[in-house]
Every structure is written in C-alpha cells, then in structure tokens.
Amino acid sequence: MKKIYLIIASLFVSASAMAVQDTTQSKPANNGWKLKFSGEINPQFYMDSRRTLSGREEEMMFYPLPEVLDPNANDINAVPQLNMVAITSRLGLRIQTPDALGAKITGFMEGDFTGATNSGINMLRLRHAYMDMRWTNSELLIGQYWTSFVVHEIMPGTRPLNMGAPFHPYSRVVQARYTQYLGVIEAVGVAAFQLDNKSSGLSGGSTEYLRNSCIPDFTAMLRYNSGRLFVGVGYNLLVLQPRTTFSYNYTDYATTTTFASHSATVFGKYEFDNYSLRMQAIVSQNMDAHLLMGGYAESPFDEAALAYSYQPFGGYTAWMDFGKSTGKWRPGVFFGYAKNTGFEKPVDDSWSFFGRGLDIDFVWRVQPRIGWYVSPNIQFFAEVEYTVAGYGVNPDEYYRYESTNDVANTRFILAAVYKF
C-alpha cells in the first residue's frame, strides 16, 4: 500500500512540474499538451445533537435515527456526537491535448480520501475520471462524472459532504454523455452504469442488478441556458434484474425477470444582483443509488408462474438554495423537503423490501450558512443543519402512513478550505 501511495504522489509531483514548465514556454494554440494540477485541503468539524443515519465517519449525514426507548424510557439514539475529519481533501489533474476529430479534447482526473466504502476511510478513491470532446455545437463526455440528476450548474452552495442529500441527489457514475447545443437550448442524453453508489437487493448494495438487465441507467434532458437564467427538465429510466436464479422444490431455475423505475426532474437557477436562486424538484422511483430515499419490494414466490414480481417505491423531493455569490462574506440558506408516496399496488409483510428510508413518511431540512472568502485560495465556513424525520406509524397496504413519530437533529459545522 505504501508503494501505491508513493507511485501516486510521484505522478502528481511529475504532473505539477510539467504544468509549471508548460506555463514558462509559449506554444501555439492546440499544438501540444497542457496540464493543470489542482486540489484543496478541507478539514471539517461537526457536532450532532443525536445519532444519525450517516456514512464516512458520520460526515455524510442523511437524517436522524428514530427514537428507541430502553426500559427506563431513555432514548438510546439521543447521543450527541462530535468529530473532525479532513477526508474530503482532494487532488485533481486537468489535461488538454491537441485537437482530434475536429474537437477540442480535455481530460480530467480527481480523487479524494473518503474511500469507496466506510472501511476505506483515508484511502484515495476516484471522484472523476473522464475525457471530454467538444465540437462547435456538440459535446461528448465519456468516463466517471456526476450522475445526470446532479445538475452541475445548479448544485447547492452547502459545504458538508452530503451536498443536500437526501433531497439533492449525490452520486457519480461511469457514463457516456452526449450534449447537442441548439443556441440557448441544450439536449442531453446519458447512458450510465453504477459503481460506488449501487442499487439495493438480496446481496446488499451491488452493481449486479443493473448489469444483469443489460440496459444502462438512461437519462434524457432538455435545458435552457441564457446565462442568467438556466432551467431544464429530465427523465430517468432504471431497469433492474434482481435475480438470475431461484430455487424451487430443491431445484435451481434460471430467471430473467426485470422491472423498470421511472423518475423525472425539473430544475432551475436565476442570478441577479450578485445573488443566486437554485431549485430542483424530483418525482422518483427506486432512486436510493442516487442517495435519495427509495427502493423496491419483491413479492413472495409465485408457484404458478414460477417467478417473483417487483414494485418500485415512490416519492418526491424538492430543495431550494438561496445565496450571495460575490464578496468576502457570502451568506446562504438551503431548504429541503422529501415525501415518500409508497407503492402503486398493495403489498404486505410477506414481501421483501430493499432500499433507504422506506419506514419514513417525510424528511425536511433548513440549513443556513456563512462563508468568509479571505482570498481565492483560503475560505472559512460555518453552517447549522437542522433536519427532521417523520418515522411512519401504521402503514397501509401501499406503505403510506397514518401518522408519524418525529425526531430532529441539529448539526453544527465549521470548515476551512485551502485551494491550490
């Protein structure tokens, strides 16, 4: 492992040296390589008022855990917690090469130290790795990048690792993304495959359910971009095949049963007088791989049909981020609301359930922040993240709840960023 880190460090040092050398030599445009080394150091301090559903040393926080009373009526999950990490620090390398096929070619690689899983904390993991081919009126991106419902142009201004989850999606996927530019209109098509963030199922989180279907995670979008105003709509199709075999009467059988989930989004950004307003709404099915609430249910085995059937779990989410975009002091606030709508057809306890937050009726969050931009390289942030989760009571046959037990968590966050 030490050898691997030494090799990685050597590559970045070499790239940095080449980038410095490149800036001291004048080269004709589009004739040669240009390398730009970048990164940031990002320590974050945070404190929670109770236990939460979280990951990566609890930095990736979703919502508070439910109230669980012991025999003395004390809440087992009412435990304040305090921590500080720097695992979101990152290193990146942008590469510009000579034109090819009439397109400007750019490559980008970036990693941080959050690890691909909780057990990999402090280990280098891949964030982005893609090549981008840009023609006059079109663009092709191939590699690992933000999932399609994470619209880079409207991402919230929050600093914590969750980036607004479970209201704002958070996922990077390996993909082929094609964009056609038609003046102020942009048409986008994405065919993607899961890796770090996976759908749930019998084997836990796994990419095999999507791979088994032989159909990419597909998204189509239309966007309007006039500079100050940016709006768009999108549709996502996810087809999973949870099983390839099943056992019946002590005999194994092959199965090819798949099911489809459909999701849609509308989003926008408006900038005015050094302020920006960003919003997104998503009507979702089975989007737990995007770090939203959701999943699906598998029926009991149907002996007559020799098959299982499936139903996606639905919901909707909406968030808004309002912030100041210039100056040394940059205040802002994030609001998020998510509501589960259950299944389209009746289910009962004999079904098997997979996903995140299926026992929750709603979650909401308000998150004010202030940023102090000392210089382009040095920034400090303070945020308060107040999140309420309504755990469902007495689900009906569609898994919609009559009432809720509400719990709240307050997270205090202090962060520093040194960019280079």
Strands 245-248 and 172-182: unpaired
40-75 core/surface letters (b: 16 or more CB in 10 A; e: else): bebebebebbbbbbbbbbbbbbbbbbbeeeeeeeee
3-class secondary structure, 4: helix
Q: Which tokens go with 275?
A: 């302020």
* CATH of residue 332: 2.40.160.10
By CB atoms closer than 10 A (0-12, 13-18, 19+), residue 418 is: middle
Which pLDDT belongs to residue 202?
Answer: 94
CA–CA gap between residue 160 and residue 59 (Å, rounded): 7
pLDDT (tens, 9 = 90+) of the chain, 420 residues, equals 444 344 344 434 344 444 434 443 434 444 679 999 999 999 999 999 999 999 999 999 999 999 999 999 999 999 999 999 999 999 999 999 999 999 999 999 999 999 888 888 899 999 999 999 999 999 999 999 999 999 999 999 999 999 999 999 999 999 999 999 999 999 999 999 999 999 999 999 999 999 999 999 999 999 999 989 999 999 999 999 999 999 999 999 999 999 999 999 999 999 999 999 999 999 999 999 999 999 999 999 999 999 999 999 999 999 999 999 999 999 999 999 999 999 999 999 999 999 999 999 999 999 999 999 999 999 999 999 999 999 999 999 999 999 999 999 999 999 999 999
Query: Which residue from 334, 363, 289 is spatially nearest to 63, judged by alpha carbons?
Result: 363
- What's the pLDDT tens digit per position in 49-79? 999 999 999 999 999 999 999 999 999 999 9
Tell me the C-alpha to C-alpha distance, in Å, between residue 128 and each of 106, 189, 205.
Answer: 13, 19, 21
Query: Which residue from 153, 147, 116 is spatially nearest to 130, judged by alpha carbons?
Result: 147
Which pLDDT belongs to residue 31?
Answer: 62
- Is 0.85 surpassed by the pTM of this model? yes
Tell me the C-alpha to C-alpha distance, in Å, between residue 112 and each of 9, 92, 103, 105, 109.
Answer: 13, 9, 30, 24, 11
Say how many domains are in the chain. Answer: 1
- What's the pLDDT tens digit per position in 76-134? 999 999 999 999 999 999 999 999 999 999 999 999 999 888 888 899 999 999 999 99
What's the domain range around 375? 2-419
Cβ pair 264, 233 in contact under 8 A: yes
CA–CA gap between residue 314 and residue 119 (Å, rounded): 31
Which pLDDT belongs to residue 117?
Answer: 82
Q: What angle is formed at CA 184 by the lines to CA 100 and CA 152, rounded to 5 degrees? A: 70
Strand ranges inside 286-400, DSSP E: 294-298, 310-324, 329-342, 352-356, 360-373, 378-395
Beta bridge partners of 298: 310, 352
